[in-house]
Chain A
């Protein structure tokens, strides 16, 4: 059964919507295969607008890994803006892939990568447009397996009703294993239908199928237990870890969009995982252990990636890029290789020390020193101990002053507000720090013409972190603190003028908190919000706090809980958390101890340079830290001057 393109119908609608190019595909690196030549077919979705979703590394990697298999087809889909959504509903055009404009419903798997929980309403829009039943229970063998991945899938309980399965952790090998299971099941003639396929997936012990687990609740609303409802699935589902990143050098052929997107660069992950141990950071906790990609693989990926894409910017990505054991040689090697090619290199890094400046100097050899970003995260020394962000104020001032002294004119400082145990004083310290930065910076730069931007994000406690038990602060308190901080920054007019202040309101963070630590009962809230028109909740112009509050008020009383119960309530040690049956490798006792240490303001060192602190990941996942240095260097490239003409 071949599947035809919906483009002829879609084409009639495109002149009537904004930025139609985002629905057209045609990217370099895109793959279009014959439907009938393939056996297992994946539709991969990033549940946000194309401009945000296209650059997503996870989707690009899986897209390429899957399409390298001759009998596998992978295409991509993104969230549809409300203008086109309305027209598609009116004209019966279904959710489509941008590659060959095939209906998502025709694929075997509909895989959605959730970087953030605020994409949940967009999942419902996509299912609805795809004409796939919203509830997993209503789907038949005709429908794709709806599969969640990405960091949010470490607690997929709020969307448990809507997805068929979730994969925790790295996807490279998981997608191939799932493909194999589907290939075999189809070859056998789809025995046992959808249930049998889901069972085969669940039996891998690393694919979570929510329907095979029941949740029991206590009278006070807490969870009593989450247990399998059949004997042949595991009690706990483990995350995936791809070891040896040199063996998985993706993306090799990055997607190069025609539409403008948020990142226009060749991005290469230089390592995965982080053991800095920042207690708020879910990414750092769930991606352990640290696995470095070697300098030579990075060099080769950059060379081939730039040649393929024509990008003139390279991003060296990781959770803390300056921590790579070969970062110095990597930066100077790349800077040398691309010195004459108008290629800019960036190192999104958050470490606050002088070494960082050395690297930045290296990367900005060609003279462009626009801005540097540092993330002290907490304003006071005390709160930085609470979150385990080990940097002293002296370090910070010294680092920033070095930056100004070396020609940078703009420094951005990133903080969080609403952290556990936070007081007004902790937040007001941010103003003090910013004033000090400008005062010392002016002296070092010898000019008044320097700027500092203070950017504040709302803290959201996440599953599988030491803060998973922590109470959130109420939005009113956050907003009041931010107002106080703003006044304090401007209390000195000369210094205040040089300081920019950017922040987010407390309300979206509270809802993100609800979705992050929610359980299956939150599914009905998400559905209600979506029915009331909730879409694109990550966009402030689309997000409506009152819509979420109303939906909570309508749905949650029947369960004896409310929005506060999920957000501002502190959890006790013995409470069963909604994600306890999902195994990130982190030992719950260790997490609890780290939470206690946090409140006691004890810091925790990085296990790359000090002995193992028993977080539990390496032994339970049978993994190990993989770091260099390899001792290798990047060699100068031989310039190629001839035109590249196709043979």
Chain B
């Protein structure tokens, strides 16, 4: 069985696709593209697909990962083209490589997120970020399956910067838009971008007037320099900047 790893994006309106929705669409895309997918044994055979941690519903992503098992050796570039064409535009297959040693999950320990805050003055966001980073611990609450629970949103944050006003692409018609770049380690319980936003509210009373727009720009191995290495680099035999 050949194993191929894919990187895909959830873009624009299709960021509202939930993980389950994506999984159904992906299985159909495998059939549309006539991918020789391998199936599990048993009474109800399932296609061999395993997903790395998926971005929450409503959050866009440029860096989602999955691995599939194939019955026949398939060229990864052709596979990428075929699958991309078989999915709705907005669910885009960006990369495909033959899997090497080790597991995908072992190579993912952090994510890089971008949070856009329309109608928020960049200076205000910057002040909130500073207050957040200056706190040793920021307790936030979230509803989980076990009910409401409180946890620290600060510890997992490796990097958090409000993009300076000068770096901003000029907002449409003078409407301000703050941008926060965020690198968060994978921990238990998971700290997600909305938890960090809750943290900014807790420490600095930052209340975005309209829902923020969040995108995962990368996930992978966190280097000592705080950079994130694409987990597929290892399979390609590349050595990423600062890679192991």
Query: Do A and B interact with each other, yes or no?
Result: yes
Among A253-261, A315-323, A477-485, A622-630, the stretch in contact with B: A253-261
Contact, CB under 8 Å: B86 / A310 = yes
Contact of A28 among B33, B74, B78, B88 (CB under 8 A): B88
Whether A21 and B17, one on each chain, are in contact in the complex, defined by CB atoms closer than 8 angstroms, is yes
Name A24's closest neighbour in chain B (CB-CB).
B13
A231, CB-defined interface residue at 8 Å: no
How far, in angstroms, from A12 to B81 measured CA to CA in the complex?
A: 33
- Within 8 Å of chain A (Cβ to Cβ): is B98? no
B180, chain A: closest CB distance, angstroms: 17
- Closest chain A residue, CB of each to CB of B58: A15
* B36 surroundings in chain A (CB, below 8 A): 641, 643
Q: Which of B64-91 contact A (CB under 8 A)?
A: 72, 74, 78-79, 81-82, 85-86, 88-91
Q: In the complex, A640 Cα to B34 Cα: how many Å? A: 8
A309 touching B58 by the CB < 8 A rule?
no
Q: Are A644 and B86 in contact (CB under 8 A)?
A: yes
Main secondary structure of the interface of A (DSSP, over half): loop
B29 on the A face (CB < 8 A): yes
**A47 vs B91: C-alpha distance when bound (angstroms):** 28
Interface string of A85-120 (1 = CB under 8 A from B): 000000000000000000000000000000000000
A312 touches B31 (CB 8 A): yes
Closest B residue to A98 using CB positions? B13
Chain B residues near A12: list those with CB within 8 A.
210-211
With an 8 Å Cβ cutoff, the count of chain B residues facing the other chain is 40
Establish whether residues B24 and A643, one from each chain, have CB atoms under 8 Å apart when the complex forms.
no
**How many angstroms between the C-alpha atoms of A28 and B21 in the bound complex?**
13
Residues of chain B within 8 A (CB-CB) of A640 are 34
Min CB gap A169→B, angstroms: 33
Q: Chain A residues near B58 (CB, 8 Å)?
A: 14-15, 20
On chain A, the residues within 8 Å of B74 by CB distance are 643
In chain A, positions 4-60 with a C-beta closer than 8 Å to chain B are 7, 11-12, 14-16, 20-21, 23-28
Question: Which of B33, B44, B72, B88 is the one whose CB lies under 8 Å from A258?
Answer: B88
B residues within 8 A CB of A546? none
**B25 located at the interface, meaning its Cβ lies under 8 Å from any Cβ of chain A in the complex:** yes
Chain B residues contacting A610 (CB-CB under 8 Å) are: none
Contact check, B24 vs A11: say whether CB atoms are below 8 A apart. Answer: no
B149 CB within 8 Å of chain A:
no
Question: If the complex has contacts A26-B88, A264-B24, A640-B34, are A646 and B81 also in contact, measured as CB distance less than 8 A?
Answer: yes
Residues of chain B within 8 A of A23, CB atoms compared? 16
Given A14-B16, A15-B211, A26-B14, also A645-B32 (CB < 8 A): no
CB atoms of B34 and A258 under 8 A apart: no
Instruction: Tell me the count of chain A residues lying within 8 A, CB to CB, of chain B.
Output: 36
* Chain B CB within 8 A of A367 CB: yes
How long is the Cα–Cα vector from A256 to B28 in the complex, in angstroms?
A: 9
The docked-state distance in angstroms from the alpha carbon of A555 to that of B53 is 57
- Decide yes or no whether B57 CB sits under 8 A from chain A: yes
Contacts A15-B211, A258-B25 given: A24-B14 contact, CB under 8 Å? yes
Which residues of B are found within 8 Å of A312, using beta-carbon distances? 27-28, 31
Tell whether A643 pairs with B18 under 8 Å between CB atoms, given A14-B58, A310-B31: no
Residue A565 interfacial (CB < 8 Å): no
Nearest-neighbour CB distance to chain B for A311, whole angstroms, equals 7
Task: Please state if B16 and A20 are interface contacts (CB–CB under 8 Å).
Answer: yes
Asked if residues B35 and A643 are in contact (CB atoms below 8 Å), the reply is yes
Max chain B C-beta neighbours (<10 A), residue from A24, A27, A310, A640: A310
* A643 to B32 CA separation, bound complex (whole angstroms): 9
Contacts of A260 in B (CB 8 A): 20-21, 24
Query: Could you say which residues of chain B place their CB within 8 Å of the CB of A16?
Result: 211
B90, A308: Cβ atoms closer than 8 Å? no
Q: With both chains docked as a complex, state the minimum distance between the C-beta of A264 and any C-beta of chain B, in angstroms.
A: 7
Across the interface, which residues of A come within 8 angstroms of B35, CB to CB? 643
Instruction: Scan B219-238; emit 1 where CB is below 8 A from any A CB, else 0.
Output: 00000000000000000000
Q: Which of B13, B79, B85, B88 has the most CB of A within 10 A?
A: B13
User: Is A642 an interface residue when CB atoms closer than 8 A count as contact?
Assistant: yes
- Nearest residue (CB) in A for B37 is A342
Q: Which residue of B lies closest to A7 (CB)?
A: B13
Cα A7 to Cα B85 in complex, Å, equals 24
What residues of chain A lie closer than 8 Å to B44, measured between beta carbons? 368
Knowing A26-B90, A258-B17, A260-B21 are in contact, say whether A20-B34 is a contact too (CB < 8 A): no
Nearest 10 interchain pairs by C-beta: A310-B28, A310-B32, A310-B31, A20-B16, A646-B85, A15-B211, A24-B13, A645-B82, A21-B16, A643-B82
A-B contact pairs, 6 of them (CB 8 A): A28-B88, A258-B21, A312-B31, A643-B35, A643-B36, A643-B78
A binding-site residues for B, Cβ under 8 Å: 7, 11-12, 14-16, 20-21, 23-28, 256, 258-260, 264, 306-312, 342, 367-368, 640-646
Kindly list 16 other residue pairs between chains A and B, CB separation below 8 angstroms, not including A28-B88, A643-B34. Answer: A7-B13, A20-B57, A21-B17, A21-B18, A21-B21, A25-B13, A258-B17, A307-B32, A309-B28, A310-B30, A312-B31, A368-B44, A641-B34, A643-B82, A644-B34, A645-B78
